[in-house]
Structures are given as structure tokens and as C-alpha cells.
């Protein structure tokens, strides 16, 4: 649906992102209202997420970066040189260079649904690694992606940092892991590897604080979704009547983010009316946390055999190397 530079966002005559509207209208019509977390990331949302990663309570980014910085030679030994590193997502300006420095790849192939982000970060990377062939691909990596001909002959190393997999419920996560195998040629007898970040289960207080920082940056990130709906979908949501909540769901081992109505509210979105009672919530994100075993089980269910696992010194976060 979206390889060769053709815009992947499908807009109607008035410029509204059709998928955004469909997800919001469907999600608000449910008894437990819910909107997929991917819609957080407009320009403001992406900036706010960057700010979240600098908050003292939000440990995952620092913990994962520590592992990438300290364990590079151990990855390199297991992975070997000259692989095509296939990153699922545009890549971070800090984590991606650390991996590329460590494993001496033959090419770098970032996959992202947003062409703009993709081209920006690919350009920055080419500058940092002048000899490295970089082949950005604009595509939805939840499905099998056709990789460029230039990397066909290279063995693949998938890279999926950030515990982004934790945003998915297990059935979606397994679908993605299987798509990654297909994208990297596992079915054609190649033996791709995958380096994936997965955040670990820990004390509830630590987890809830990571998603409800003192500076209220995460609260603003969550509430930004309401502002986006009002702006892009003709919404009349009274944003001042909503509060950020981050709750550990112990049955499902995940942090849930919600937007809680502090009083009864009525509003419109795209001409449709909705109402919420005081205390009702819109569920906006799941962030699953893993144990060594639950991480391994998820990977195995998706067709990947874990080979080795690293954690940061405080054992808060894991990076797992797996083979198809
Ligand atoms: C980008 C999915 C890794 O779940 O920790 C951070 C997003 N949400 N604070 C996460 C997020 C609230 C983040 N991921």
C-alpha cells in the first residue's frame, strides 16, 4: 500500500486523516472508550514524548541506551558483520548510532509509515556514517514489507527498541513478530536475527511514577490527544474536564493510561454526539511489562527463538537477541 514515496496517509476532501477519524469515532462509541496509542504522535505529541524520555521518573530510554552503550561488543560477536540492519520505526538519534557502531552493518534499512520522519532521520544517519548504504522504506511494518533489491543478498538483523512491542496486546504483538520474520526472509530459508527491547515488570510505584511524572509531561502527552481530536476532527471536548491517569493492571502486567472525566461531559466529534459520566475514562495506551519468561514466550509465539538477553545494571529493562 505504501512503498515508493507515495503518501500513506489517506485524507478526505477536507484534509482529515480518514483512519484517525474512523479510529476515534469507533473508539468513542464503545462502552469502555478507547483510542489506539499510535494517534498520540502528531508533531506536538512526538515532541512531548521526547520530553518524557528526559524526565527522571521515565527510566526506559536511559536503561536501554545504557545496554546499547555497554554491550555492543557482545552483540557484535553473536550477530557478525555485514548484516542489513532493518529498523522497525524511523530510528532514534541516540540508540541507532550505538547499534550501528557496534555491529558494523553492510546496510541500514529504516521502515516507517511516516515518510517525513523517515527521510529526516535517514539523512542525519547518512551524515554520521558516510560509508554506509542507507535505504529508507516508507511502509506499514505491521504487514510484510518488500525490502530494496540492494539488500536482498545480505543477512538481516531486525532492530525494534523502546519496548514499543509493549504497546500491543499479545495477539497484535505476535502478528507483528510474524510479519517481521516474513519481511526479513525467514520463509526463504534465511536466518534473520532480531534485537528487541522489552521493559521489565517491577514495583508498581516505580512503574506508575514513570507514567505520571512530577512535571506532568506525560499528563500533557495524554491530554494532547484530546486537543488533536478537537483540532483535526471538529471536536468540542472540554479538555479542562479531563485528568491523566496511569494505572498498573496487575492481571495483564501492563500500565494503562486513561483520560478521566472529572464531571459529566457531552461533546461532539465530526458531527457525532458523545457523553460520559463523571469518572468514566477513555483508555489511551497499554504499556505491557515483561518477565524473562513472558518475554521469551511472546517471542516464541511470534516465531523467534531467544538466544541471549541483556539488562541494565539496575535490571529495569531488557534487550533480547533472537533468531528466526
Ligand atoms: C514509546 C511505547 C515505549 O510505553 O513507555 C511513554 C510511550 N507513553 N510514556 C512507553 C509512552 C507514556 C512509550 N513507548
Is the C-beta atom of 166 inside 6 A of ligand 1? yes
Measured in Å, residue 77 CA sits from the centre of ligand 1 at 30
Smallest CA-to-CA distance from 118 within 142, 146, 137, 99 is with 137
Is the C-beta atom of 287 inside 6 A of ligand 1? yes
Is the C-beta atom of 294 inside 6 A of ligand 1? no
Is the C-beta atom of 198 inside 6 A of ligand 1? no
Measured in Å, residue 271 CA sits from the centre of ligand 1 at 31
Q: What is the pTM assigned to this prediction?
A: 0.94
Residue keyed to cell 486537543: 227
Please give the span between the terminal C-alpha atoms of the chain, in angstroms, as a whole number: 26
DSSP per-residue string spanning 250-285? TTTTEEEEEEEESS-EEEEETTEEEEE-TT-EEEEE
Pairing mode, strands 156-160 and 193-199? parallel
Per-residue pLDDT of the chain (324 residues; tens, 9 = 90+): 344 444 567 888 888 889 999 999 999 999 999 999 999 999 899 999 999 999 999 999 999 999 999 999 999 999 999 999 999 998 888 999 999 999 999 999 999 988 888 888 899 999 999 999 999 999 999 999 999 999 999 999 999 999 999 999 999 999 999 999 999 998 888 899 999 999 999 999 999 999 999 999 999 999 999 999 999 999 999 999 999 999 999 999 999 999 999 999 999 999 999 999 999 999 999 999 999 999 999 999 999 999 999 999 999 999 999 999
Is the C-beta atom of 163 inside 6 A of ligand 1? yes
Is the C-beta atom of 53 inside 6 A of ligand 1? no
Is residue 124 within 8 Å of residue 91, measured between CB atoms? no
Q: Rounded distance, CA 218 to CA 244, Å?
A: 8
Predicted ipTM beyond 0.90: yes
Q: Whose CA is nearest to atom 2 of ligand 1?
A: 164
Amino acid at each position: 500500500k505504501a512503498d515508493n514515496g507515495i503518501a500513506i496517509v489517506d485524507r478526505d476532501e477536507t484534509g482529515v486523516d480518514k483512519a484517525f477519524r474512523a479510529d476515534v469515532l469507533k473508539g468513542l462509541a464503545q462502552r469502555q472508550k478507547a483510542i489506539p496509542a499510535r494517534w498520540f504522535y502528531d508533531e506536538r505529541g512526538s515532541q512531548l514524548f521526547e520530553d518524557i524520555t528526559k524526565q527522571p521518573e521515565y527510566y526506559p530510554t536511559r536503561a536501554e541506551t545504557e545496554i546499547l552503550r555497554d554491550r555492543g561488543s557482545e552483540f557484535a560477536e553473536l550477530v557478525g558483520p555485514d548484516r542489513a540492519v532493518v529498523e522497525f520505526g524511523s530510528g532514534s538519534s541516540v540508540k541507532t548510532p550505538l547499534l550501528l557502531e557496534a555491529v558494523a552493518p553492510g546496510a541500514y534499512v529504516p521502515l516507517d509509515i511516516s515518510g517525513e520522519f523517515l527521510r529526516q532521520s535517514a539523512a542525519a544517519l547518512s551524515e554520521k556514517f558516510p560509508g554506509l548504504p542507507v535505504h529508507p522504506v516508507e511502509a506499514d511494518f505491521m504487514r510484510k514489507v518488500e525490502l530494496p533489491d540492494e539488500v536482498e543478498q545480505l543477512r538481516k538483523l531486525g532492530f525494534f527498541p523502546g519496548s514499543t512491542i509493549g504497546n500491543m496486546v499479545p495477539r497484535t504483538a505476535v502478528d507483528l513478530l510474524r510479519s517481521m520474520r516474513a519481511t526479513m526472509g525467514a520463509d526463504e530459508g534465511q536466518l534473520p536475527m532480531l534485537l528487541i527491547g522489552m521493559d521489565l515488570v517491577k514495583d508498581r510505584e516505580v512503574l506508575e511514577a514513570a507514567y505520571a511524572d512530577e512535571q506532568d509531561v506525560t499528563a500533557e502527552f495524554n491530554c494532547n490527544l484530546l486537543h488533536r481530536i478537537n483540532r483535526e476532527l471538529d471536536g468540542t471536548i472540554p479538555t479542562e474536564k479531563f485528568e491523566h491517569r496511569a494505572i498498573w493492571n496487575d492481571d495483564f502486567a501492563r500500565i494503562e493510561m486513561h483520560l478521566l472525566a472529572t464531571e459529566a461531559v457531552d461533546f461532539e466529534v465530526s458531527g457525532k454526539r458523545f457523553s460520559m459520566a463523571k469518572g468514566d475514562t477513555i483508555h489511551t495506551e497499554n504499556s505491557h511489562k515483561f518477565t524473562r519468561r513472558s518475554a521469551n514466550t511472546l517471542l516464541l509465539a511470534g516465531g523467534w527463538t531467544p538466544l541471549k538477553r541483556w539488562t541494565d545494571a539496575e535490571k529495569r529493562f531488557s534487550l533480547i537477541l533472537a533468531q528466526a
